Amino acid sequence: MMTGPGISVDGLRYSYGDLEAVKGISFEVQPGEILGFLGPNGAGKSTTIKMLTGQAMPKSGVAKVLGIDVTSGNEDFQARIGVCFEEKNLYLNMSAKENLTFFASLFGISDLDTDAVLRRVGLAGRANDRVKTYSKGMRQRMMIARAFINSPDVLFLDEPTDGLDPVTAASIRTTIREEADRGAAVLLTTHDMFEADELSDRVAFINNGEIVAIDTPENLKLKYGTRAVKVRLRDGDGVREETLPLDDGSHAARLAELASSPDLLTMHTEEATLEQIFIQLTGRGLEG
Amino acid sequence: MRPAYIWKVLRKDLALGPRSPIFLWAIVLPFALTLVLQVAFGTLFDPEPRLGIVDEGDSEMTAKIEAIEGIKLAMLDDGDELRRQVESNDLDAGLIIPEGFDEELKAQRKPDLSFFVGGESYASNRLILTVIAMDMVREVQGGEPVVNVETVDLGKASLPMSMRMVPVIVFYALVIAGLFVPGASIVEEKEQGTLTAMLVTPVKVGDVLVAKWVLAVLFAALMAIVSLLLNGAMGPNWPEVIAVVLVASALSGMLGIVVGVVAKDSAILFGIVKGLGIFLFAPAIFYVFPEWPQWIAKLFPLYWIIEPIWQVSVMGESIATVWMELLIALGITVALAVAAALLTRRMQRQMAGQ
């Protein structure tokens, strides 16, 4: 059982040659918490995961996983983490069962119930099929299954639902939430604002290697977004729309007037999405 | 080095190996090369003359023929069976020596000798066996040859070409199984990202590379020994041949690890192997052309593994005669291991995208 934060990062930096990819970011992920790293491609999300999993050495700053400094040479933390990579790096000529059994053996697990693991990600019945026969979605589910085999204390999930159909994506999100509920600290990178909003306890907006905002999705919306009511009215033969901000209270009379208008067609409340807030803060979209 | 992790990776590679085309190619190659080279230069389709004998007494002729090298002799009890085997081309010729044949011959009584010759046998084999039979009769009779034959050897005495090709076949077995298999395996793991997947678990890059090297050594040694056996070149000192082959496999396996670590992808791997090809292959050519200055072969690293194999297997020498070559081969292996360790850091930086 973890006592301190699963992940603790302070002033972390990384460069690819002259290009500074991560510029002194700081954050923590507590046990049972899902931190969503939200940002466009090239923002520094995957590079941060590479440093935290021991694949890349930070240029400066402190990065601790399970209290162990990842730059110290002590790689004991790797026995207690699970990683789902963006690239689907499975042994294609091995079956799902062989893949899981092999990686489990590296964690010292000799009695893995592969059927149960595969059932959890909806791959029951395909255990003995070679992974090269799997569809993209099935391979992604295998990636998730592999990340969970050692019941990790810290989970790094790099775009775990990228390219999946909505049903499979929803199923994987449920599984990720179950891992957090078990007590795992989860760092989830995504450029899917819906996923970040639905799954994350907190969200960090990362852009050009910097964290520009970090908070709960609700607080971010309250802090940076504007609440409004969108009203659609009949206008002769056409339809016109009117948006009334709710935050300053100055439109209350107009709102009451429209609500009682015989021309009223529909009335919807609106709140800012994480993507809108991201654009507001960075001047760029998440797909960039 | 952590044996438990090395064994886990090795076991995985053993399971994956037979599913890899390169692995299968390494297994097939010695057989294919032996077949091709034996057809071109060897004796695969030029078998020794096959003679069957039914000796109804205890003729000296039988013992004399048995002592002749280069004849495949079959002893039978039944004349009808002998005739059937000659007719069906299981034997090139058959000889029935009746009881008391030697005594009759020595008494100058011209006994009957049945000599069957197969119609489908090679003319050369028929001729050889007929001449031998007549010569043996004369020897048992105790008569002097009617002419003195002066035999003149033309050309330098040397090993047959089929034997001189053995280093070429062994070289390929060592290079494909020892160098190409581990090199390609490392590159494939890099390209598919499975190496990265392993390295975020408790396994370390050193464990992975040592596992691949161990597999390469065992596989290359096995294929080299199979090549020697296929070509009848194992020699009498087989424990010493195995020892020498293991040293050779250690070197070629380490070369494979270095190549695999250096090559970023398959295209670069193939480029390196093609570029190194002649450099690696050169010493084997010197065995095919013994008239070339042999000192040049020593300039190439694989000479130091081909030469001990040649001496201990084909030439039947003791391992003690090649200790210097083996020492140099082990020195090259250690140097390559140091290079692999240094290059591994560069590889990990490449994998991290630096």
Q: What is the ipTM of this complex?
A: 0.86
- Topology given in CATH for the domain delimited by B50-141: abc type-2 transporter like fold (3.40.1710)
Q: Can you read off the two tokens belonging to residue A236?
A: 């002769």
Residues of chain B with CATH 3.40.1710.10: 50-141
**Positive or negative CA dihedral for A92, A96, A98, A103?**
positive
Q: Which of A177, A201, A230, A208 is nearest to A278 (CA)?
A: A208
Comparing CB atoms, the residue among B19, B196, B353 nearest residue A85 is B196
All residues of chain B having their beta carbon less than 8 Å from the beta carbon of residue A91 are 12, 16, 192, 194
Whether A157 has its CB under 8 Å from any CB of chain B: the answer is: no
CB contact under 8 A, B354 and A98: no
pLDDT digits (tens, 9 = 90+) for B147-158: 777 877 665 556
Consecutive H or E run containing B95: strand B93-97
Coil, strand or helix at B261:
helix
Q: How confident is the model at residue A270 (pLDDT cuts 50, 70, 90)?
A: confident
pLDDT at A50: 93
Q: What is the value of pTM for the model shown? A: 0.79
Q: Give the number of A-B residue pairs with CB atoms closer than 8 Å.
A: 70
pLDDT at A152: 96
* A90 class by beta-carbon count within 10 Å (0-12 exposed, 13-18 middle, 19+ buried): buried
pLDDT digits (tens, 9 = 90+) for B92-104: 999 999 999 999 8
Whether A163 has its CB under 8 Å from any CB of chain B: the answer is: no
Question: Does the structure show a pLDDT above 60 at A288?
Answer: no
The tokens 């040859």 sit on which residue?
Answer: B145
Comparing CB atoms, the residue among B19, B192, B204 nearest residue A89 is B192
For residues A176 and A38, give the distance between their C-alpha atoms in angstroms, rounded to a whole number: 17
Quote the distance between the C-alpha of residue B24 and its chain's center: 18
pLDDT digits (tens, 9 = 90+) for B125-147: 888 888 888 888 888 888 777 77
Cα nearest neighbour of A132 on chain B: B192
pLDDT digits (tens, 9 = 90+) for B41-66: 766 556 688 999 999 988 998 998 88
Q: How confident is the model over A5-19, as a mean pLDDT? A: 93
Check if the beta carbon of residue A188 is closer than 8 Å to that of residue A157.
Answer: yes
Give the C-alpha distances (Å, rounded to integers) separating A264 from A242, B12, B146: 11, 69, 134
Q: How confident is the model over A25-43, as a mean pLDDT? A: 93
Comparing CB atoms, the residue among A50, A90, A93 nearest residue B352 is A50
The tokens 């140099």 sit on which residue?
Answer: B328
CB contact under 8 A, B202 and A105: no
Question: Does the structure show a pLDDT above 90 at A1?
Answer: no
Check if the beta carbon of residue B213 is closer than 8 Å to that of residue B253.
Answer: yes
CB contact under 8 A, A146 and B197: yes
Comparing CB atoms, the residue among A55, A83, A91 nearest residue B16 is A91
Check if the beta carbon of residue A14 is closer than 8 Å to that of residue A58.
Answer: yes
Name which of A277-286, B40-49, B130-139, B336-345 the model is least confident about. B40-49
Other C-beta atoms lying within 10 Å of the C-beta of residue B277: 11
CB contact under 8 A, A56 and B354: yes
For residues A277 and B36, give the distance between their C-alpha atoms in angstroms, rounded to a whole number: 72
Whether A93 has its CB under 8 Å from any CB of chain B: the answer is: yes
Q: How confident is the model over B231-251, as a mean pLDDT? A: 92
Q: How confident is the model at residue A90 (pLDDT cuts 50, 70, 90)?
A: very high
Q: A7-216 has which CATH code?
A: 3.40.50.300
Q: Across all residues in chain B, what is the average pLDDT?
A: 89
Comparing CB atoms, the residue among A53, A81, A89 nearest residue B194 is A89
Give the C-alpha distances (Å, rounded to integers) separating A59 from A11, A76, A77, A206, B243: 10, 21, 20, 18, 48
% of chain B exceeding 70 in pLDDT? 95
All residues of chain A having their beta carbon less than 8 Å from the beta carbon of residue B198 are 103, 106
Question: Does the structure show a pLDDT above 90 at B39?
Answer: no
Name which of A121-135, B205-219, B286-300 the model is least confident about. B286-300
Q: How confident is the model at residue B263 (pLDDT cuts 50, 70, 90)?
A: very high
CA angle centred on B229, ends B16 and B294, rounded to 5°: 105
Query: So where are chain A's domains?
Result: 7-216, 226-270
For residues A221 and A218, give the distance between their C-alpha atoms in angstroms, rounded to a whole number: 5
Q: Which of the 8 DSSP states describes residue B176?
A: I
> Each residue of A240-265: b (16+ CB within 10 Å) or e?
eeeebebeeeebeeeeeebeeeeeee
Question: Does the structure show a pLDDT above 80 at B159?
Answer: no
pLDDT at B187: 96
CB contact under 8 A, A105 and B201: no
Q: Can you read off the two tokens belonging to residue B151?
A: 């035999």
